[in-house]
Amino acid sequence: MGELLVEVMRPRRGMSLSQPDEFLGPFPSGATGIFIDMVARLGHSAAIVSGVGDDDFGKCLLERFERDGVDASRVLVVPNKATGVAFVTYFEDGSRRFLYHWDHTPAVMAKAPTVADVRGARFLHIMGCALMPNRDFRAEVFKAVGRFVRAGAKVSFDPNVRAELLSGRSVSSFIGPVLKSCSVLLPGERELQLLSGLEDIDAAAKRLLARPPMETIAVKRGSRGCTVYSQGSKLHVPSYQVREIDPTGAGDCFDACFLCGLLEALPLEECARNATAAGALNAAAFGPMEGDISRQSIRVLREQQDRR
């Protein structure tokens, strides 16, 4: 459950968002949307609770879900409202800036599904960014967390903190109820430090793992790969080498692939390797949800580089 957006991108680095110039898009996006589409492309049953407007940008998102097999029957299509949009540009140093138009859009208008509706689901995945723009939507997501847990699902959570959405507010005020129910945490290094209040990554992971029902923490480290902590174990997986074109969405694809590995009861190292490969393939393609990322392309990348 979370946001759906289209993304409109500057085609090259170093183009500010304040001057008239070229854009490319719309690309289907929203961290939640990228995540669920990747789950479906990996062959698992996947549904999203979200919203779009009754417009062409909404159509762009719904057509992608139709193509890739995401159940979009719980996506509200709101008449006379515009679909959420994010504009993004990258700078020469690799940093990026987002400009979001999604508060007061259908991206944050969905209601929590009922307990009966979510029966049989194995995971509810939440992106922290979806909790940031709108208080009412945050309350619906918290409600959904309770209902999924009552229906027997586990909660996975990626804090996905976006400075542009925080407006100076503290992260912890947004995410408490999700973190409390979370079994699988998928943060970046900085986010893990924020959530734990500790600088040292090992100590931070240990502190959060001590809080039930936390089982697994996979820390994403960009082009340095990932480190996975579970009760009593720690393993590091280096990244796969690709030419980075657009890293937006890499973390969301990582999350999806890692979770699919857990659904398939793969060993944590396999989950981490597949997820790291999916992240790399996403970073190598222009557009947040683009690129050929499939079981096949993940296997090929792993075969090429696992024995380095």
- How many CB atoms within 10 Å of residue 295? 14
Q: Contact between 220 and ligand ATP (CB under 6 A)?
A: yes
For position 30 contacting Mg ion by CB under 5 A, the verdict is no
**Shortest Cβ 161–ligand ATP spacing (Å):** 8
Strands (E), the chain: 5-9, 24-29, 50-53, 75-78, 85-90, 96-101, 123-127, 154-158, 182-185, 216-220, 226-230, 233-237
84-92, 159-167, 201-209, 235-243 -> range binding Mg ion (CB under 5 A): 159-167
Which of Mg ion, ligand ATP, none is residue 280 near (CB under 5 to 8 Å by kind)? ligand ATP
> Nearest distance from residue 222's CB to Mg ion, in Å?
10
Instruction: Scan for tokens 């509200």, then name that residue.
Output: 76
261 binds, among ligand ATP, Mg ion, none (CB under 5 to 8 A by kind): none
Q: Looking at 32, 50, 134, 160, which residue binds Mg ion (CB under 5 A)?
A: 160
Strand partners, 229: 217, 234
- Is residue 89 at the binding interface for ligand ATP, with CB under 6 A as the rule? no
* 160 part of the interface to ligand ATP, by CB under 6 A: yes
Q: Are 255 and 186 in contact (CB under 8 A)?
A: yes
Contact letters for ligand ATP, residues 222-261 (x by CB under 6 A): xx-xx------------xx-x-x--xx-xx--x-------
How far is residue 239's CA from residue 269's CA, in Å, rounded to a whole number?
Answer: 13
Min CB(160)–Mg ion separation in Å:
4
Residue 103 interacts with, from ligand ATP, Mg ion, none (CB under 5-8 Å by kind): none
Whole-angstrom distance, CA of residue 257 vs CA of residue 294: 10
Q: How many residues bind ligand ATP (CB under 6 A)?
A: 21
User: Do the beta carbons of residue 21 and residue 15 sit within 8 Å?
Assistant: yes
Integer Cα distance of 298 and 284 in angstroms: 13
Map the footprint of ligand ATP across residues 260-279, applying CB under 6 A: 276, 279
Which residues in 231-260 contact Mg ion (CB under 5 A)? 251
What Å distances lie between residue 6 and 28, 50, 107, 292, CA to CA?
A: 5, 13, 10, 19
Tokens for 285?
Answer: 């393609």
Which pair of structure tokens corresponds to residue 281?
Answer: 């393939």
For residue 89, the partner it binds in ligand ATP, Mg ion, none, with Cβ less than 5 to 8 A by kind, is none
**Residues forming the site for ligand ATP (CB under 6 A):** 160, 188, 220-223, 225-226, 239-240, 242, 244, 247-248, 250-251, 254, 276, 279-280, 283
**Residues forming the site for Mg ion (CB under 5 A):** 160, 251
